[in-house]
Structure 1
């Protein structure tokens, strides 16, 4: 087993995990606005999606998708569409909250009711789809494994790499979910829920627009 290779993968992946993006944004949203269990399941969903990306890359399926213009465009369109839909949902939620700000009691009640509306399973699916349908994640893992995982790498190292990336992802997002879902922190961030929704909406829509722009640029060239 190549320990040096696994250490390199770990460092690169940890840096990527800590970078602001759709995964980070959705965990913050879930942890500050939903129950702790839902937030943790969201983190688990992201980690599961990362495991899928890892396995697809190790098996060469991701490269095959990228090399097929039609398949790759379909993945990008589906991914950008999902991210845009999620972004619009967050912005809509923020706009509704802004309208309710004139009625503080109603806003608080609505926020509390909203916590019970999302099940842990839906939290898992949200985390799973957010990462799995993000074309940028697909590109990241293709690049990472093309450079570091050569044909000479042993099966044991590949299996260890898959377990390592899954574990690091769940540990990071799981800890983030646990910390931000503490009742005291949730209460302090209650007034910032609108801002969080706005930021989440902007992040998701920006990524979706970037992907769409790349698709148009590739199509024109």
Structure 2
């Protein structure tokens, strides 16, 4: 697989994980609605930093191990495919049943540091994110990638995380827009779930 295709694959998987409803969205949107957009931006920095930390941990292990153990590379590919299908089916079931993740999760942090730590802790302890970085992301990262690919990958993670999460703080500061998003949550869960299942199937059959 060409490196450009690997980047597109990782971007597609990461985008599906980012847009699926979860704690990050509800924390940031509720902070924005409560008039704490300034603090929410520091939460975004914490979330992005946690994503970069997970990516670095994943890359550090994958770069050496996959180059020396092709069997491990195959196992990681299948693990990543299984995770994508599992999480995709989970989203599809939630969409079918009309389930919602909406709940009041945020309280305004009292300082910039507290806001950053809130984002960092949320990102590092989010089971969905941890499973993604240690399985699907790792399985998508090509073995023996050139040095530039590492930098581009980290830049991709940072730009996508910042863009999505900052977008939440800006757009969903308007109550009517956030209400509209929540009304579409079921459809978004279904579309994200279907995309993840298809990506998982592609990983399972690719060589």
Q: TM-score range by the shorter chain?
A: 0.5 to 0.7
Task: Report the counterpart of residue 67 of structure 1 in structure 2.
Answer: 74
Structure showing the higher helix proportion among its residues: 1
Q: 1:122 to 1:182 in 2, by over 3 A?
A: same
Task: Report the counterpart of residue 48 of structure 1 in structure 2.
Answer: 53
Instruction: Give CA-to-partner distance per residue, 1:164-191, whole Å, 9 cap, x none.
Output: 5324422331233123213763534221
Instruction: Assess if the C-alpha contact under 8 Å between 1:43 and 1:173 holds in 2.
Output: yes
TM-score, normalised with respect to structure 2: 0.56
In 2, the alpha carbon distance for the partners of 1:184 and 1:206 equals 25
Task: Report the counterpart of residue 191 of structure 1 in structure 2.
Answer: 179
Question: What pairs with 1:119-198 in structure 2 (closer than 5 Å)?
Answer: 120=119, 121-126=121-126, 128-129=129-130, 131-132=132-133, 135=136, 137-142=137-142, 145-146=143-144, 148-149=145-146, 158=147, 161-182=149-170, 185-198=173-186
Q: Work out which of the two has the higher radius of gyration on C-alpha atoms and give 1 or 2.
A: 1
In 1, the alpha carbon distance for the partners of 2:138 and 2:170 equals 32
RMSD between aligned residues:
4.5
Task: Report the counterpart of residue 100 of structure 1 in structure 2.
Answer: none
Instruction: Assess if the C-alpha contact under 8 Å between 1:47 and 1:170 holds in 2.
Output: yes
In 1, the alpha carbon distance for the partners of 2:154 and 2:140 equals 15
Alignment gaps of 5+ in structure 2 = 29-39, 108-117
Question: What pairs with 1:91-106 in structure 2 (closer than 5 Å)?
Answer: 91=95, 95=99
> 1:209 deviation in Å?
3.3
Instruction: Assess if the C-alpha contact under 8 Å between 1:24 and 1:173 holds in 2.
Output: yes
Runs of 4+ in 1 over 6 A off after TM superposition: 8-12
In 1, the alpha carbon distance for the partners of 2:156 and 2:141 equals 15
Is 2:80 the counterpart of 1:80?
Answer: no
In 2, the alpha carbon distance for the partners of 1:203 and 1:16 equals 17
> 1:77 deviation in Å?
3.0
Aligned-partner SS, 2:140: helix
Aligned residues between the structures: 178
In 1, the alpha carbon distance for the partners of 2:48 and 2:93 equals 20
> 1:72 deviation in Å?
4.8
